[in-house]
Amino acid sequence: MTKKGARATGSEQGRLRREIAAAGMILVLVVSAMACRVRQEQAVSEQRPKPRTSEIAPEPALLPRTELVPVVATQEPEDTESSEPHPMGSLLVLAMGGIGSPMDDPAPEVEAVERVLSILALGATPLDAVAAGVSAIEDSGLRNAGVGSSLRLDGITVEADAAVMDSTGRFGAVAAVPGLRHPVLAARAVAEMPVSVLAGDSATRLALRLGLEGPLPIPDAVAQEYRSAFSAAVDPAHRDAVPFYFEHFAKLDGWREPASTGSPTEPTTADSEPAPQTEKTSSESVTVLLRDEKGLFAGAMSSGGPVLSLPGRVGHIPIPGAAMFCGAKGIVAISGNSERVIAEQLARRVYEELARSGSASAAAALGSTLARNDDVAIAIIGDAGMLIHPQSAVAFASFSTGRITTSGEESAP
Q: pLDDT tens across 210-262, in order?
A: 899 887 788 888 888 888 887 777 666 655 555 555 555 555 454 454 444 44
Question: What pLDDT, on a 0 to 100 scale, did the predictor assign at position 217?
Answer: 84
Question: What pLDDT, on a 0 to 100 scale, did the predictor assign at position 5?
Answer: 41
Other CB atoms within 10 A of residue 4 CB: 14
Specify which residues 377 forms β-bridges with: 335
Tell me which H or E stretch contains 376: none
Other CB atoms within 10 A of residue 38 CB: 10
Question: What pLDDT, on a 0 to 100 scale, did the predictor assign at position 226?
Answer: 85
Of the listed ranges 216-220, 265-269, 301-305, the one predicted with least confidence: 265-269
Q: What is the per-residue pLDDT across 371-412, written as a single tens digit (0 to 9) for each?
A: 886 678 999 999 889 999 887 778 999 999 889 999 977 443
247 CB-near residues (< 8 Å, 6+ apart): none
325 CB-near residues (< 8 Å, 6+ apart): 165, 331, 332, 347, 348, 350, 351
Question: What pLDDT, on a 0 to 100 scale, did the predictor assign at position 223?
Answer: 87
Question: What pLDDT, on a 0 to 100 scale, did the predictor assign at position 56?
Answer: 31
Nearest residue to 102 via CA among 73, 143, 136: 143
What does pLDDT average to over the chain? 75
Q: What is the per-residue pLDDT across 151-191, written as a single tens digit (0 to 9) for each?
A: 988 888 899 999 999 999 999 999 999 989 999 999 999 99
Question: What pLDDT, on a 0 to 100 scale, did the predictor assign at position 329?
Answer: 95
Burial 266-305 (b: 16+ CB within 10 A, else e): eebeeeeeebeeeebbbbbbbbbbbbbbebbbbbbbbbbb
pLDDT band at 339 (very low <50, low <70, confident <90, very high): confident
Please state the rounded mean pLDDT for residues 322-338. Answer: 93
pLDDT band at 69 (very low <50, low <70, confident <90, very high): very low
Q: What is the DSSP string of 47-70?
A: PPPPPGGGS-PPPPPPPP-S----
8 Å CB contact between 117 and 291: no
97 has a pLDDT exceeding 80? yes
Q: What is the DSSP string of 240-288?
A: GGS-TTHHHHHHHH--EEEEETTEEEEE--TTSPPPPP------S-EEE
Q: Is 86 exposed, middle or buried (CB count within 10 Å of its CB: 0-12, 13-18, 19+)?
A: middle
Question: What pLDDT, on a 0 to 100 scale, did the predictor assign at position 35?
Answer: 42
Question: What pLDDT, on a 0 to 100 scale, did the predictor assign at position 246?
Answer: 57
8 Å CB contact between 161 and 183: yes
Query: Rounded distance, CA 379 to CA 94, Å?
Result: 8
Q: What is the per-residue pLDDT across 2-55, written as a single tens digit (0 to 9) for each?
A: 444 444 444 544 544 444 444 445 445 544 444 444 344 444 434 444 444 333
Q: What is the per-residue pLDDT across 346-380, written as a single tens digit (0 to 9) for each?
A: 999 999 999 999 999 999 999 989 988 667 899 99
Specify which residues 405 forms β-bridges with: 398
Question: What pLDDT, on a 0 to 100 scale, did the predictor assign at position 67?
Answer: 28
Q: What is the per-residue pLDDT across 107-141, written as a single tens digit (0 to 9) for each?
A: 999 999 999 999 999 999 999 999 999 999 999 99
Query: Going from the N-terminus, what domains does the chain have, and what CATH number goes with each?
Result: 92-201+282-411 (3.60.20.30), 220-267 (no CATH)
8 Å CB contact between 325 and 348: yes
DSSP 393: G
8 Å CB contact between 348 and 326: no
